[in-house]
Copies of this chain bind each other. A is one copy, B any other.
């Protein structure tokens, strides 16, 4: 039943979180076996934002943003709010007042499978948001939800304290317990990519660099 606020959640180490943020969504998603990506309808409000932080999760009824006020009290510097409505909704749960409050608590951004408003203000404040919609539709404060319970947000399971990575490519969640291992894998991947990029830039083909020709021929690829 809704109506629960879990306090004192565990978080990953700050240097791990920041490391994952530097790697970015595509690399982190690959590094953990192509899992954890939120659906592609989650788009940034403005281009160029790139964040990582610990998830403070919110399960909220459609058209009711009461739990956002409750969740903001649970924020610690470096956290990211993650809101999943209990049924599909595009209303504007979040605007400049809530952003001001969250930013004052050290919040790094919002990931919401619903709508936000006050786009101009949020952009000027440089408060990053990934959302399903921009929508000015107001919400009420009449029905309970929960804070820091597990939620499915845009198709991905998010537990409180999981690491959220978000940039222009979308949003990815890394389970807290795997964060350190994923960071290690992501960094290895990055090192590897730099070298590949340099070779490709000279005109070397992926077909040769990855030695694909033989396997393509075995599979039956025909040049005509």
Q: Whole-angstrom distance between the alpha carbons of A120 and B221 in the complex?
A: 34
Q: Whole-angstrom distance between the alpha carbons of A224 and B212 in the complex?
A: 32
Question: Which of A147-181 touch B at CB < 8 Å?
Answer: 150, 152, 155-157, 167-170, 172
- The answer to whether B70 and A91 touch across the interface, beta carbons within 8 angstroms, is no
Given contacts A88-B90, A135-B170, A203-B105, A144 and B70 within 8 Å (CB-CB): no
- The answer to whether A118 and B197 touch across the interface, beta carbons within 8 angstroms, is no
B residues in contact with A183, CB < 8 Å: none
- Chain B CB within 8 A of A205 CB: yes
- Chain B CB within 8 A of A53 CB: no
- Chain B CB within 8 A of A188 CB: no
B residues in contact with A167, CB < 8 Å: 120
Contact with B along A29-40 (1 / 0, CB 8 A): 110011101011
B residues in contact with A64, CB < 8 Å: 63, 143
- The answer to whether B97 and A196 touch across the interface, beta carbons within 8 angstroms, is yes
Contact with B along A1-21 (1 / 0, CB 8 A): 111111100000000000000
Q: Whole-angstrom distance between the alpha carbons of A216 and B66 in the complex?
A: 9
Of B62, B134, B207, the residue contacting A168 (CB under 8 A) is B134
Known: A26-B92, A37-B135, A88-B89. 13 other contacts (CB 8 A): A1-B33, A3-B221, A6-B224, A34-B138, A40-B90, A40-B137, A66-B216, A72-B205, A100-B201, A103-B201, A120-B168, A134-B168, A141-B212
